[in-house]
Amino acid sequence: MYCKVCGDENEGYRIFGIYMCKRCFNKLETVSIDDEDYDEYKNLIRILLSYYISKELNPVN
């Protein structure tokens, strides 16, 4: 499956109903507020949540 975050085809997990590869998942797990990439991952989480919310609001008929 293709990762919804980075678009690569990697082994990973299904989180909030979307597919995320291990690499992106590890990044999310290990990122800290002090990390210079933190803002990037805040955006990433926002993307994940928007996928989740839009799925909830627009159930597939």
**Min separation Cβ 2 and Zn ion, Å:** 9
**Min separation Cβ 29 and Zn ion, Å:** 13
Q: Quick check: 23 and 10 in contact, CB under 8 A? A: yes
Which residue do the tokens 């799925």 mark? 55
Nearer to Zn ion, 11 or 36 (CB): 11
**Min separation Cβ 15 and Zn ion, Å:** 11
User: CA-to-CA distance for 6 and 57, rounded, in angstroms?
Assistant: 24
Which residues of this chain interact with Zn ion, rule CB under 5 A?
Answer: 3, 5-6, 21, 24
